[in-house]
Every structure is written in C-alpha cells, then in structure tokens.
Amino acid sequence: MSSSPLAAPLDVELKPDRPPILHIDSPGDAASWAAQYREALRAQVTEHGALLVRGLGLRETDQVGAVFGALSGGLMTEREAFAPREAYGPGLYSSTAWPANQPMCMHHELSYTVEVPGLMLFACLTAPAEGGATAVADAEQMLQALPTTLSERFEHEGWLLTRSYNDEIGASLAESFGTDDPAAVERYCGAHAIDFAWQPDGSLRTRQRRSAVVRHPVTGRRCWFNQIAFLNEWTLAPEVREYLVDVYGDEGLPFNTRFGDGTPIDEDVVQLLNSTYEEHTRREPWQAGDLMLVDNIRTAHSREPYGGERQVLVGMAEPCRLSDCAPTPEASRR
C-alpha cells in the first residue's frame, strides 16, 4: 500500500465475497484524517455502496463522534426506532439492542420512515470473539435477482408495517417518538403518513404503507429498499414467534409486515427474500478500530449472531426524503 492511502483506486481491496476494504496506517488524529479524505471516501461509497476502513485505530466514543461528524457534516436523531439504543451524544448511538444469538437480517435502516438516512456510519470499538459481522448486500442486485412477479407486486403495492407499542418488547413510545405525550405522538403520526389507533389499555397501534422499490437519488438506479423480511414475523426464531403470538396475538405483534394491500406475507416469501439476500451477502469480521460507511439506499446491511462482547457505534446522516426517490405507491409521497 502507498503512504497516501487514497492515491489510486487500487488501494481499495476488492473481493467478491467481502465489502471493499481500505487498509491504512494509523493517521494519529483520526478526525483530521477523515476530514481530509472525506470526498475521496465518499466517492468510494458512491462507487461500491460500502467501504470498510481498517487501520484508523478508533478506541473512544468521543473519537468516533468526531470522525462521524467529519465525514457526515452532521448526524441525524433517530425517530421511529423499533428497538432501544443507548445514546453516546447527539446522533451517536449503540447498535440496536438485539439478542446476540439472533441474527438481524438484511435491511435498510429506517426505510419505513418518510425521511431516511442516506448514509450509515459504523465504528467497532470492541470486536466479538466470533461472528457479529455487519454484512452488506447490493440493493440493485437484490431487485434483479427476485422473481419478477414478486418484485412487481411489491413495487406496485408497496409494503405495510404494523406496530404495537408496549412496555415489554421493542422500543417504547418515548424511545421511538422522542416523547410519550399522546398529543405529540398523534401530531408526529399525522405529519409522517402513519395511521394510528389507541387501544383500550392505552397502548398504541400504527400502520404505515411505504415503497418497496425506489430510485437512488444520485445514480437513479432502481433499488430494493425496505425492511419487509427483517420486520416480518417469519424471520423471528420459531420459539420467539410462538411466544409473541401467544402473548400478543396475531394482530398485536410488536412489529410485522404485509403486502401493501394488507394481505399477510407467507413464510415462503420471507424465506425467499432472506435466501436471496444471503446469495448477495458480503461479509468481513470486525476488527477493533474499524470504520464502515454504507450507502443506506444502495446497500442493505445486517448483523450476524456473535459470541463475546461486541461494541459497535452507529451514526445516521444525509437525510433523504423518500418522496425524492421516485417511489411507488403514492402513499409514500406524502
């Protein structure tokens, strides 16, 4: 490798089954290095959809926050979270709280919102003893690989996310909406194309119809962009699904997805989506100090099961309105 890490495209290591990797020698001040090479790094993300930078030596949360800020120009505050995170500063979060032995399958972060992050930033402070990779998959290739009849149905109808907020599973009202004041929650739902209904016990159920296919705001390419499989009941471990259905009923699951017309999605469809993702997955085990940048519209990401301690910090940036991505159905244009 040359001493100028971005002197030529060949400095980025490209292998079919791994995300692009840029190896650098520790620059000392990681935030200054990130600011200096921001445009070159972003160009690599635009070209490849993701980039893993190895050698920055990230070790502290403040250091990560400074690097994220230098690369993004400002981090987003998460809204409509489906599970809790720990906040380390404005827009700087822990990974989503999710059982270590359960995978988080491929998804595009907050693809059910009307304003989505265009860029995801990840930093590994502690690498797990085994597993735990943040794998990636190309959304354009995913769309092309799906059966045409299925992709066209989702493109025409969109997809429906249903949520039931409770105090036991998933994010609470306050964690998801930034408030537990019913009037404020209703105002948020009204402004973000979310149908809502308060239940007799005071809990909230919501429904939101969103696009499954969008055009990338920079390249114009059509991308499979959603969380249909990830938030569907059939992706859950069988024993977890059975427990949740037993406790909350089919209509009261903390989250679930349907076809845009409200029709349930069969298990075989969800399995097909997840297996197609797997065919297009690129993965590289985390090493402590790593940085990863992901184009959230072009590229899906996952979190694989792991053993041992794992600390990966997350930032979201470059908000993009879904209505600017030529979505269908019309419900997503609100």
Structure confidence by residue, pLDDT tens digits, 268-317: 999 999 999 999 999 999 999 999 999 999 999 999 999 999 999 999 99
**Measuring CA to CA, which residue among 284, 313, 312 is closest to residue 50?**
284
Please report how many Cα atoms fall inside a 13 Å half-sphere around the Cα of residue 271, on the Cβ side: 5
Q: Enumerate the domain spans of the chain.
A: 9-130+284-322, 141-275
Concatenated DSSP letters of 49-79: SEEEEE-----SHHHHHHHHHHHHSSBPPP-
Round to whole Å and give the CA distance between 334 and 325: 12
Concatenated DSSP letters of 166-230: -SSSS--HHHHHS---HHHHHHHHHHTT-EEEE-TTS-EEEEEEE-SEEE-TTT--EEE---TTT
Chosen CATH of 141-275 out of 3.60.130.10, 2.40.50.140, 3.40.50.300, 3.40.50.80: 3.60.130.10
Residues of the chain with pLDDT under 70: 1-10, 330-334
Round to whole Å and give the CA distance between 127 and 244: 31
Output the pLDDT for position 170: 84
Residue type, 109: E
Output the pLDDT for position 7: 40
Output the pLDDT for position 329: 75
Crossing angle between the packed helical segments 61-72 and 38-48, to the nearest 10 degrees? 80
CATH number of 9-130+284-322: 3.60.130.10
Task: Give per-residue pLDDT as tens, 141-180.
Answer: 999 999 999 999 999 999 999 999 987 888 999 999 999 9
**Region of residue 233 (left: phi > 0; alpha: psi -120 to 50; beta: else):** alpha
Round to whole Å and give the CA distance between 108 and 257: 14
β-partners of residue 123 are 291, 313
pTM strictly above 0.75? yes
Peptide bond into 128 cis (omega under 30): no
β-partners of residue 213 are 224, 328
Asked whether the domain spanning 141-275 has the same topology as the one spanning 9-130+284-322, the reply is yes
Contact predicate 206/288, CB 8 Å? no
